[in-house]
Amino acid sequence: MNALVRLFSRPWIWSWGAAFVIWFATIMVTGGASTLGLTQAALTFAAFSIIVGLGQMFVITLGPGNIDLSVPATMTLAGTVALKFMNVENGMILPGLAVAVLIGVAVGIGNYALIKALRIPPIIATLSMSFIVQSAAIWTNRGLRIKPPSFLADFTTSATLGVPNLALVALALSLLSWLVLEKTVYGRWISAIGQSMPAARMAGIPVDGVRFITYVFCAVLAALAGYLLACFSGGAALNMGSEYLLMSIAVVVIGGTAVAGGDSNVPGIWGASLFMFLVVSMLNTYGLGAGIRLIMTGLIIISVILLAGGRKPGAR
Amino acid sequence: MKIRKLLLASVAIACAAMPVSALADTSGKKIALSNNYAGNSWRQAMLESWEKVTGEAVKAGVVAAADAFTTAENQATEQAAQIQNMILQGYDAIVINAASPTALNGAIKEACDAGITVVSFDGIATEPCAWRIAVDFKEMGRSQIEFLSGKLADGGNLLEIRGLAGVFVDDEISGGIHAGVEQFPQFKVAGSVHGDWAQDVAQKAVAGILPSLPEIVGVVTQGGDGYGAAQAIAAVGRPMPVIVMGNREDELKWWKEQKDANGYETMSVSIAPGVSTLAFWVAQQILDGKDVKKDLVVPFLRIDQDNLEANLETTPAGGVANVEYSQDDALQVIEAAN
């Protein structure tokens, strides 16, 4: 009983519960025949939201005002440049990955340079950065769709023991993030800064260094997601990152991470990402019009956040 | 002196090449393109066509300037501000691909009141003082079903991929598709998703609905989404339905690969991005004093099994099958409307 109460006090349980209910409602339409197909599709597409969501979660945990709006542009630039660089050759996969990561590092450094050196609020700094990055993506390839190397295309679209490879990549990154957040000093520092920056500064935490690393980490994860997405969908497109701007923020919030910062939640990102994919699939499957679909999506998200956010005052 | 002579000569040549507008009195006029979005291959092709055709026209002295401006955020308010700037900068005509059919009407009215010719195309504006170059999007949707009825006599279930919810073009094409299904009742739309005219969004949406769908014989689309649908269907190993394509290079390339491998047959239809150049010539003709009807219709560009290779060859990598319009084409369209 006590264990059950503890379970329900976890902020991530609600996104998982919602994802499960919707998954069940969707497979019931076909009497269970679509179970495997839907589960695999959900895991595959949720993987992208999970990867960008993890990075965004680190940034949001830094406290009020911290957000990275350059995620979609970074995904697009990393995807287009990496695919162009690899030029369909299997031997270039690792150098291509390195290029994508370097783009992420560069964008992250640029973001924090704007925030720190020019004292621009993160929301404006990352937004302006995203214009620069998106223009760079347009300039580098003008919408040219180069196919990914065959090995990478196979890897991203196939499954190991029934689990999509992309979901395994997302799982590995999630475990890494969880370890960093929960078991390292750096993770504790992020939470401390998010709870009170002045207090963190007085406690001797290298606030600027931690924030800098966090913005770079977020951009690198976005670049990685762009690299994988471009390989998965058979080539990069100029608008391929656009839906991950709101998605990356939504999965963090629905997953139970405190919007005000200082408290992060890795399992919740999984529940929320699966939920976000499944809710669209369910409403599509039931054949509802776009208007109703958007209203329903909004209502469902609000109810999940209300349930997940129902923490007792002072519970922290 | 020499440059002056050269200019005169090129103007003379331009005049000779254009029998109808014998007087090139638009040579001092400035035309601006107000564009609301540049982030996909179609819009990139549109801007390139504009640059190419108007660049030659400016060099030939047909008009003094033809500058293209794109807003950053695809917002109607931003584009309205852009149009107001163009009024202040003294352009004689503004060619618009509008972010919204109604939200720009105020700014467009201001431009008209300032004596500026406004021509909207693709994303048209409903303001009565502006000209509209529209595609018969309804027919574009209906013709897809008609094509499928010739290909699949027994009919069956269709999957519809729509565009961006709430956009006028999406409603029009979808309306045409549903009218087509009424006309050919052997077909049934078994599922409908929004692909936002983007391959990756379409792929995601199709992958989500596919497990719960019965067997699909055809996929009707709006352009920019066919390749994503093919990827999603191939990933689950279903038999490949007839996917109507939308003239993007990756879609045509995929079709060609399938055609060579197993004789796959389909068709491809979309609006050519070069329609921006048609709008340019129409604006030029209006400035020239030509009497032009307010509503013009531009034909859509259709690719079939037999002219696939020819079209694929002329389509730039990563681009869209395109037609650039000449002044004569514009005159023909204008005549057809009268």
Q: How do residues B238-296 score in pLDDT, each as one tens digit? A: 899 999 998 888 889 889 999 999 989 999 998 888 999 999 999 999 999 888 888 89
**Which chain A residue has its CA at the smallest distance from B228's CA?**
A233
pLDDT at B8: 57
Q: What count of Cα atoms within 13 Å lies in the side-chain half-sphere of residue B157?
A: 10
pLDDT at B123: 84
Query: What percentage of chain B has pLDDT greater than the value 90?
Result: 39
Question: Does residue B22 surpass a pLDDT of 50?
Answer: no
Contact A70, A104 (CB under 8 A): no
How far off is chain B from A173, nearest CA to CA, in Å? Answer: 22
Mutate to test the interface with A, among B209, B236, B322 (most CBs of A within 10 A): B209
Instruction: State the DSSP string of B203-255.
Output: HHHHHHHGGG----SEEE--SS-HHHHHHHHHHTTPPP-EE-B-SBHHHHHHH
Chain B contact present for A23, CB below 8 A: no
CB < 8 Å to A235, chain B:
199, 250
Measure CA A269 to chain center. Answer: 8
Domains of chain B from N-terminus onward: 2-136+272-301+322-337 (3.40.50.2300), 137-270 (3.40.50.2300)
Chain A contact present for B237, CB below 8 A: no
Q: Which of A3, A294, A97, A58 is nearest to A182 (CA)?
A: A58
Taking the C-alpha atoms of residue B42 and residue B199, their distance in angstroms, rounded to an integer, is: 12
Measured at the CA of A231, the angle between CA A228 and CA A233, to 5 degrees, comes to 105
Query: CB A154: neighbour CB atoms within 10 A?
Result: 12
Provide the 3-class DSSP secondary structure of residue B304: coil
B109-121 pLDDT, tens digit per residue, is 999 999 999 999 9
Provide the 3-class DSSP secondary structure of residue B187: strand
Task: Residue window 108-147, chain A: list those with CB within 8 Å of chain B.
Answer: 131, 134, 138, 141-145
Mutate to test the interface with A, among B212, B222, B251, B252 (most CBs of A within 10 A): B212
Q: At what angle do helices A122-141 and A71-86 cross, to 10 degrees?
A: 30
Chain B contact present for A244, CB below 8 A: no
Question: Does residue B24 surpass a pLDDT of 80?
Answer: no
B166-215 pLDDT, tens digit per residue, is 777 888 899 999 999 999 999 999 989 988 888 888 888 898 888 888 88
Q: Which of B48, B200, B212 is opposite residue A229, by nearest beta carbon?
A: B200
Contact call for B228 and A37, based on CB within 8 A: no
Contact call for A145 and B317, based on CB within 8 A: yes
Contact call for A38 and B205, based on CB within 8 A: no
Taking the C-alpha atoms of residue A200 and residue A206, their distance in angstroms, rounded to an integer, is: 8
| CB crowding B110-122: b at 16 or more within 10 Å, else e | ebbeeebbbbbbb
- Mean pLDDT in chain B? 86
Chain A contact present for B317, CB below 8 A: yes
Contact call for B41 and A238, based on CB within 8 A: yes
Chain A contact present for B199, CB below 8 A: yes
Mutate to test the interface with B, among A274, A285, A293 (most CBs of B within 10 A): A285
CB < 8 Å to B162, chain A:
290
How far off is chain B from A46, nearest CA to CA, in Å? Answer: 10
B74-97 pLDDT, tens digit per residue, is 788 999 999 999 999 999 999 999
Q: Which of B200, B253, B260 is nearest to B224 (CA)?
A: B200
Residue B223, sorted as left (phi over 0), alpha (psi -120 to 50) or beta, turns out to be left
Chain A contact present for B238, CB below 8 A: no
Contact call for B211 and A144, based on CB within 8 A: no
For the entire predicted model, the pTM comes to: 0.78
Length, in residues, of chain A: 316
Confidence of residue B14 (pLDDT cuts 50, 70, 90): low
- What are A221's two structure tokens? 């994860």
Contact call for A131 and B72, based on CB within 8 A: yes
Q: Which of B200, B203, B208 is opposite residue A280, by nearest beta carbon?
A: B208
Chain A contact present for B105, CB below 8 A: no
- What are B331's two structure tokens? 């005159």
- What are B117's two structure tokens? 């010719």
Taking the C-alpha atoms of residue B207 and residue B234, their distance in angstroms, rounded to an integer, is: 10
Taking the C-alpha atoms of residue B118 and residue B109, their distance in angstroms, rounded to an integer, is: 9
Contact call for A242 and B205, based on CB within 8 A: no
**Structural domain boundaries in chain A:** 12-24+35-308
Is the ipTM value over 0.95, yes or no? no
Chain A contact present for B166, CB below 8 A: yes
How far off is chain A from B251, nearest CA to CA, in Å? Answer: 11
Contact call for B205 and A280, based on CB within 8 A: yes
Q: Which of B166, B192, B201 is opposite residue A243, by nearest beta carbon?
A: B201
Contact call for A34 and B211, based on CB within 8 A: yes
Mutate to test the interface with B, among A36, A238, A275 (most CBs of B within 10 A): A238
Taking the C-alpha atoms of residue B142 and residue A96, their distance in angstroms, rounded to an integer, is: 44
pLDDT at B284: 92
Within 8 A by CB and 6+ apart from B143, the residues are B176, B180, B269, B302
pLDDT at B31: 93
- DSSP lists the bridge partners of residue B303 as B268
CB < 8 Å to B38, chain A:
138
The full 3-state SS of chain A, as one line of letters, equals: CHHHHHHHCCCCHHHHHHHHHHHHHHHHHCCCCCHHHHHHHHHHHHHHHHHHHHHHHHHHHCCCCCCCCCHHHHHHHHHHHHHHHHCCCHHHHHHHHHHHHHHHHHHHHHHHHHHHHCCCCHHHHHHHHHHHHHHHHHHHHCCCCCCCCHHHHHHHHCEECCEEHHHHHHHHHHHHHHHHHHHCHHHHHHHHHHHCHHHHHHCCCCHHHHHHHHHHHHHHHHHHHHHHHHHHCCCCCCCCCCCHHHHHHHHHHHCCCCCCCCCCCHHHHHHHHHHHHHHHHHHHHCCCCHHHHHHHHHHHHHHHHHHHCCCCCCCC
Q: What are the average pLDDT values for consecutive 10-residue runs of chain A, which has 316 residues?
A: 69 82 83 80 91 92 88 91 84 89 93 88 89 85 73 83 89 93 90 88 89 93 92 81 85 83 85 88 79 79 70 46
Helix (H) or strand (E) holding B102: none
Taking the C-alpha atoms of residue B168 and residue B166, their distance in angstroms, rounded to an integer, is: 6
Residue with the larger pLDDT of the pair B19 and A247: A247
Which class in CATH covers the domain with range A12-24+35-308? mainly alpha
CB < 8 Å to B41, chain A:
142-143, 145, 237-238
Chain B contact present for A229, CB below 8 A: yes
Using alpha carbons only, how large is chain A's radius of gyration in Å? 20
Q: At what angle do helices A93-117 and A71-86 cross, to 10 degrees?
A: 150
